[in-house]
Amino acid sequence: QSALTQPASVSGSPGQSITISCTGSSSDVGGYNYVSWYQQHPGKVPKLMIYEVSNRPSGISCRFSGSKSGNTASLTISGLQAEDEADYYCTSYTSSSTWVFGGGTKLTVL
């Protein structure tokens, strides 16, 4: 199972919006609405931000949103804040009844 493809890094200024893409195949991202996004600060445990493409768990800011088109899912963060600087990972359920992660994207808030 190949890892999902994410950009290695993205950056934005406070207040701006950024989008992180996550590209897979019809066997994972394109085949199921089971894409999730996790935020991980250095030395910390991953935190669920989005599940089932666009659902936010309780307590997650509405500045975080998700979408999907074909084999590519996207995470958008609006109104960037310094605390958003972290690594972001997508994951998808697959046709093999397994899960696959993306390689991760480092978000820098300028």
Contact between residue 24 and residue 7 where contact means Cβ atoms under 8 Å apart? no
Question: Does 88 sit near another protein (CB under 8 A)?
Answer: no
Between CA 7 and CA 74, with CA 77 as vertex, the angle to 5 degrees is 50
**Distances from the Cα of 34 to the Cαs of 31, 55, 83, 110, in angstroms?**
9, 10, 26, 32
Structure tokens at 83: 């605390």
Residues 28-47 interacting with another protein (rule: CB under 8 A): 32, 34, 36, 38, 40, 45-47
| Residue 62: Cβ within 10 Å count | 8
Cα–chain-centroid distance for residue 71? 14
Name the residue nearer to another protein (CB basis): 13 or 97: 97
Among 11, 81, 95, 96, binds another protein (CB under 8 A): 96
Name the residue nearer to another protein (CB basis): 57 or 79: 57
Among 17, 69, 95, 99, binds another protein (CB under 8 A): 99
Q: Which residues bind another protein (CB under 8 A)?
A: 1, 3, 32, 34, 36, 38, 40, 45-48, 51-52, 55, 57, 89, 91, 93, 96-104
